[in-house]
Amino acid sequence: MATIHGIFPALPTPFDAKGQVNTKVLRELIRFLLQAGVDGFYTTGGTGESMLLEPDERRKVLEATLEEVNGRVPVIAHIGDIATHVSADLAAHAASVGADGVAAVPPPYFPIDLPALKAHYQAIADSAGDVPVWIYYIPSATGSSISTESFQSLLEIEQIVGVKYTAINFYEMRNLIEMMDGRSFTIMSGADDSCLLALTMGASGAIGTTYNFMAAHFVQIYEAYQRGDIASARELQFAANRVIKALTSVPVIAGTKVILRRMGFDCGLPRRPLRPLTPEEEMRLWSVLESTDFERIAGITLQAKS
């Protein structure tokens, strides 16, 4: 099993002018991020607009990612869906093409009890075979809060090896780690603005949106923490958070694609019902980003505005 730690960009799904998945741009972005020193990739999660993709599109994104990465770093495929059979089918595909792990959000929309949730993850685990399974915990998006006791029940499924924890209750996150009592188990933080906080509470790394355009910066945060230089890691996190504050002043996925376009990776527009930024929003975003010394933080000279 691949070791999961460090900085994992949650890849966007690039679209071309016709709204089709653009694997050429995806591959270019992956090459750029590998050069920046990232430790792995996470495909078709929230940043990748997973719930707005057809299953075949999700398969296409994963296959292109695995081909471009070519075993250099681990790749986790998010296969979560509202329907268990779709998640299970995507898990089986991910296993068949060589993904290093699969992750799934609890099914959104319908309220389901713990036995139903456990059966959902068991079906995913059965389909994934020997491939490790991750719970993607993001209550702000799914509306599902999982108690520590419920986590304990879910973790009776042997293939579940970790949680992508996109929440900021680090007390509960730490409880999950300690609950494992020696079992191999990994937490990856999902809140970019709290990456360092999660590391100090025992997370092994982080999976996030802004690592697509601040990859080298977050690698520095992780490396500073690993060598015990908390003061440097803290200042780097503060600098990243000023960029994150600018991004969250607009719709995040649309804003991310605007930033990546200026960096030379035209990921197209977000898929409806998500909307692109208005010209006014884009101007405001760049105005705030320029005040954060974004080019230095991103480690790249931006192309001319378009």
- d(Cα 112, Cα 116) in Å, to the nearest integer? 6
| Structure tokens that stand for 229 in this block | 């230089």
User: Alpha-carbon torsion 39, 41, 47, 51, what sign?
Assistant: negative
Chunked into runs of 10 residues, the chain (306 residues) has average pLDDT values of: 91 98 98 98 98 98 98 98 98 98 94 95 98 94 83 93 94 90 87 97 97 97 98 97 96 97 96 98 92 82 54
Whether 79 and 132 have beta carbons less than 8 Å apart is answered as no
Element (DSSP H or E) covering residue 89: helix 84-97
Catalytic residue among 42, 60, 164, 222: 164
> Which structure tokens are listed for 190?
């999902």
- Beta-bridge mates of residue 88: none
- CA-based nearest residue to 110, from 89, 140, 83, 141: 83
- pLDDT of amino acid 170: 94
Gap between the Cα atoms of 177 and 163, Å rounded: 10
Tokens of 38: 């990232």
Task: Give the end-to-end CA distance of the chain in Å, rounded to a whole number.
Answer: 44
Q: Is 71 exposed, middle or buried (0-12, 13-18, 19+ CB in 10 A)?
A: exposed
Q: What is the pLDDT of residue 1?
A: 67
CATH topology assigned to domain 6-227:
TIM Barrel (3.20.20)
Residue 112: exposed, middle, or buried by beta-carbon count in 10 A (0-12, 13-18, 19+)?
Answer: middle
How far apart CA 197 and CA 206 sit, in angstroms, is: 11
Catalytic pick from 42, 60, 121, 136?
A: 136
Q: Which pLDDT belongs to residue 306?
A: 46
Do 270 and 255 meet the contact criterion of CB atoms below 8 Å apart? no
The C-alpha atoms of residue 91 and residue 96 are separated, in whole angstroms, by 9
136 classed as catalytic: yes
The two tokens of residue 120 are 């959902």
| Residues 6+ positions from 231 with CB-CB distance below 8 Å | none
Phi, psi of 83 (to 5 degrees): -105, 130
CA distance 75 to 25: 18
225 in active site? no
CA 37 to chain centroid: 16
- Residue ranges of domains in the chain: 6-227
For 205, phi and psi rounded to 5 degrees?
170, -160
